[in-house]
Amino acid sequence: MPMNTRIIVQDATDGPLALREVTLPDPGPHDVLVQIHATGVCQSQLFWMHADHAEPMLFGHEGYGTVLATGSAVTHIAVGEAAMITWVPRADDRIPTRASIDLPDGRTAHSPNVYTWAEHALVDELYVMPLPPESREDVVSVVGCAVVTGAGALCNAAPVEPGNTVAVFGAGGVGLSAVAAASIRGASRIVAVDLDAEKLAFAKQFGATDTIDASVTDNPAAAIVELTGGVDIAVDCVGLTSTTVQALDSVRAGRVGGRRGGTVVLVGLPKGLTELNLAGLIGGQKQLVGTTAGGCGQDDIGTFLDWHTEGLLDLNTLVTNRYTLEDIDRAVSDLAAGRVLGRAIVTM
């Protein structure tokens, strides 16, 4: 039976967000209908708000809720189960269908993959995974993006080995997840770099051993090299040319006939072209690795949920700001202005 619900829609690029009443159809064969209890507020959603799109856009790509209905072909999750919606699809030969909603005015609103800024979401089953009973908390909603992106970078793209040294540029929700993963995996020294002293102090709660305030340090990379001799792994969670250059300069150099240099993992999404001088990368035998969603699959999400259950990754501390769906404009403006210390969620 079709369901009436409310969703957040942006009609056009840079336009305002609107809370709209819509009617969702019955699930198709591969669809899952989820009542959303909590959803993350992510920097990537700010990117999509300013990206060119002629059609109405849906937002949110990490959420936690309860399954209300499933399509005839769905077998991995059942009505009544707790579920996570994530933009990281389950491995399958079938390509998942991106979510869309018909609006009352006759237009169709689209998403890049899923949407979770809504009271209910009707999405492809490949984007939905069941949650164990112990994970039925609103804070797990941030695992589907923030944690997979940050922690995954240091579990998959450049796996931290015990004793490694690590630098993390950007101490927001993604960067803090990277710091936590480095600590959990046994890094001996973890240097967090940010422009915000409060965020740097907060990073120490997740395992940062050292912090560098880039607002008062002319050359953070030089400071990192002075502290560590050059780190084994640097993660750029910001995506600016300046942070990518600093990350490259902060990893140790290798030498011909000896061990290779350090690895830089690019996580933050750049807003334009990035110009790099690659001579140091080549001469230092350094590695530059790009990653999306930390190279994670849904099995990794299970690992990160276990970390939370076991007390290794404190999601209750990571989530610092809570909003309602009616407050989505304030949530977005707080995130854009740097007023979110850790990670923000919207609860329903």
Q: What is the pLDDT of residues 287-339, one digit of tens each?
A: 999 999 999 989 999 999 999 999 999 999 999 999 999 999 999 999 999 99
Q: What is the separation, in whole angstroms, between the first and last Cα of the chain?
A: 22
> Tens of pLDDT along 71-97?
999 999 999 999 999 999 998 889 999
- What is the C-alpha to C-alpha distance for residues 322 and 319, in angstroms, rounded to an integer? 8
> Tens of pLDDT along 117-147?
999 999 999 999 999 989 999 999 999 999 9
Integer angstrom CA distances of residue 278 from 83, 238, 247, 259, 293:
44, 20, 13, 19, 25
Residue 3 has pLDDT above 80, yes or no: yes
Integer angstrom CA distances of residue 347 from 85, 314, 315:
14, 19, 15
* pLDDT for position 190: 99
- What is the C-alpha to C-alpha distance for residues 112 and 48, in angstroms, rounded to an integer? 9
* pLDDT for position 163: 99
* pLDDT for position 54: 76
- What is the C-alpha to C-alpha distance for residues 315 and 141, in angstroms, rounded to an integer? 10
How high does pLDDT run on average in the chain? 96
Token reading at 116:
């979770």
Q: Do 284 and 155 form a contact (C-beta atoms < 8 A)?
A: no
- Banded pLDDT at 53 (limits 50, 70, 90): confident
* pLDDT for position 290: 96
Fold: same for 3-131+314-347 and 146-294: no
With left for phi above 0 and alpha for psi between -120 and 50, is residue 193 left, alpha or beta?
beta
- Banded pLDDT at 15 (limits 50, 70, 90): confident
* pLDDT for position 92: 82
Class of the CATH-defined domain 146-294:
alpha beta
Q: Do 169 and 247 form a contact (C-beta atoms < 8 A)?
A: yes
Percent of the chain with pLDDT strictly greater than 90: 88
Concatenate the DSSP letters of all residues of 285-343 into one string: T-EEEE-SGGG--HHHHHHHHHHHHTTSS-HHHHEEEEE-GGGHHHHHHHHHTT--SSE
Provide the whole-model pTM: 0.95
Q: Where do the structural domains in the chain lie, given as residue ranges?
A: 3-131+314-347, 146-294
Q: Looking at domain 3-131+314-347, does it have CATH number 3.40.50.720?
A: no
- Banded pLDDT at 64 (limits 50, 70, 90): very high
CA 123 to chain centre: 19
- What is the C-alpha to C-alpha distance for residues 24 and 168, in angstroms, rounded to an integer? 42
- Residue 345, CB-side half-sphere exposure with 13 Å CA sphere: 25
> Tens of pLDDT along 236-290?
999 999 999 999 999 999 988 888 999 999 999 887 888 898 999 999 999 999 9
* pLDDT for position 303: 96
Q: Mean pLDDT throughout 217-231?
A: 97
Token reading at 329:
């404009």
* pLDDT for position 223: 98
Alpha helical stretches, state H, the chain: 43-50, 146-152, 173-184, 197-203, 220-228, 241-250, 279-283, 298-309, 315-318, 328-336
* pLDDT for position 74: 98
Q: Mean pLDDT throughout 34-63?
A: 91
Strand partners, 321: 344
- Banded pLDDT at 49 (limits 50, 70, 90): confident
With residue 259 as reference, give the H or E element that holds it.
none
Q: Mean pLDDT throughout 36-60?
A: 90
- What is the C-alpha to C-alpha distance for residues 304 and 65, in angstroms, rounded to an integer? 18
DSSP state of 207: T
Q: Which residues contact 216 (CB under 8 A, 6 or more apart)?
A: none
Concatenate the DSSP letters of all residues of 39-68 into one string: EEE-HHHHHHHHS--SS-EE---EEEEEEE
